[in-house]
């Protein structure tokens, strides 16, 4: 009983933090379930995938009411991301996955440090390669009248980055949301709250796909998954409550995302050590 209560409380905390940064929380929860609660790796992944669904649905319901979701960005990222996940799964048989996973963890950690080091700096305009690419053919302006903001996107580049993050997700067995959120903010200058809300909306489709796959593979034990789903639902409500109270700014959101990336890098390393039994 004590173990179940502890898992529930940790699930609430992980979910609340995941809602604040747009990662969902699965990348943190899987190593916790394996290391501290001796879940088999397949069962831990299946349970975490189930838990992500109610958290993403609840968050999206609030974000829909606040009109902070960019459905065009989601429609460009998600299909290619799903294709990339399939490609990544096939690449596992042909690439030195262990070495690449360590490089991937290093990349995520460095990205987190970059987010923390630059969140106070003002964005420079009309400079850099991404600025020029965003003005090539297939680029367009997105306007959010409710939030009085606008930003330019390149549809082809956005779809390509969705393919890249999906391939990484399939290759390394982790979710791609914690890469998509900072990319939306830094590469496309999408306001942080819109990027976070869009990432959580995409997570609904991702988690539904993952639940279906793991269910058919027999990786879901509902007696363990349902309490965790409840914990993530409570955590999502708590996270949205915290967002309202602290009136999140662009800088504070980027700082939290930087912390989340550092934790995600550590989680990927822990996942590697567990998977390869070091």
Confidence label for 62 from pLDDT (cuts 50, 70 and 90):
very high
Nearest to 273 by CA among 23, 22, 34, 111: 34
Over the stretch 167-179, which tens digit does the pLDDT of each residue have?
877 666 566 677 8
Average pLDDT rounded to a whole number, residues 61-67: 93
The predicted pLDDT at position 124 comes to 55
Average pLDDT rounded to a whole number, residues 236-258: 78
The predicted pLDDT at position 233 comes to 96
Q: Which of 15-29, 53-67, 205-219 reaches the highest mean pLDDT?
A: 53-67
The predicted pLDDT at position 84 comes to 83
3-state secondary structure the chain: CHHHHHHHHHHHHHHHHHHHHCCCCHHHHHHHHHHHHCCCHHHHHHHHHHHHHHHHHHHHHHHHHHCCCCHHHHHHHHHHHHHHHHHHHHHCCCCCHHHHHHHHHHHHHHHHHHHHHHCCCCCCCCCCHHHHHCCCCCEEEEEECCCCEEEEEEHHHHHHHHHHHHHHHHHHCCCCHHHHHHHHHHCCCCCHHHHHHHHHHHHHHHHHHHHHHHHHCCCCCHHHHHHHHHHHHHHHHHHHHHHHHHCCCHHHHHHHHHHHHHHHHHHHHHHHHHHCCC
| Contact between 52 and 26 (Cβ < 8 Å) | yes
Residue 71 has pLDDT above 90, yes or no: yes
Average pLDDT, the chain: 83
Confidence label for 86 from pLDDT (cuts 50, 70 and 90):
confident
Average pLDDT rounded to a whole number, residues 25-51: 86
Confidence label for 122 from pLDDT (cuts 50, 70 and 90):
low
Terminal-residue alpha carbon distance, the chain: 31
| Contact between 12 and 238 (Cβ < 8 Å) | yes
The predicted pLDDT at position 173 comes to 55
How far apart CA 255 and CA 78 sit, in angstroms, is 25
pTM of the model: 0.85
Over the stretch 150-196, which tens digit does the pLDDT of each residue have?
888 888 888 998 888 888 776 665 666 778 888 888 888 899 889 99
> Which region holds residue 54: left if phi is over 0, alpha if psi is between -120 and 50, else beta?
alpha
How far apart CA 14 and CA 237 sit, in angstroms, is 12
The predicted pLDDT at position 72 comes to 93
- Beta bridge partners of residue 68, listed in sequence order: none
- Beta bridge partners of residue 152, listed in sequence order: 141
């Amino acid at each position: 009983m004590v173990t179940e209560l502890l898992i529930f409380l940790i699930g609430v905390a992980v979910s609340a933090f995941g809602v604040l940064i747009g990662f969902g929380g699965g990348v943190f929860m899987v190593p916790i379930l394996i290391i501290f609660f001796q879940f088999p790796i397949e069962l831990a992944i299946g349970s975490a995938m189930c838990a992500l669904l109610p958290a993403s649905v609840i968050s999206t319901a609030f974000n829909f009411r606040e009109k902070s979701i960019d459905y065009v960005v989601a429609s460009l990222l998600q299909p290619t991301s799903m294709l990339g996940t399939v490609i990544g799964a096939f690449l596992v048989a042909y690439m030195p996955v262990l070495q690449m996973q360590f490089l991937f963890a290093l990349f995520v950690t460095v990205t987190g440090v970059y987010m923390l080091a630059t969140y106070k700096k003002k964005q420079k305009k009309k400079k850099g390669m991404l600025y020029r690419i965003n003005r090539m053919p297939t680029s367009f302006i997105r306007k959010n009248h409710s939030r009085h903001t606008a930003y330019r996107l390149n549809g082809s580049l956005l779809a390509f980055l969705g393919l890249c993050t999906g391939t990484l997700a399939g290759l390394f067995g982790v979710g791609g949301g914690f890469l998509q959120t900072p990319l939306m903010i830094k590469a496309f200058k999408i306001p942080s709250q819109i990027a976070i809300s869009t990432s959580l909306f995409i997570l609904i489709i991702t988690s539904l796909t993952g639940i279906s796959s793991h269910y058919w593979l027999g990786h879901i034990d509902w007696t363990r998954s349902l309490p965790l789903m409840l914990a993530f639902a409570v955590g999502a409500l708590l996270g949205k409550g915290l967002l309202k109270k602290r009136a999140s700014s662009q800088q504070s959101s980027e700082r939290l995302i930087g912390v989340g990336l550092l934790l995600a890098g550590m989680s990927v390393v822990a996942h590697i050590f567990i998977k390869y039994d070091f």
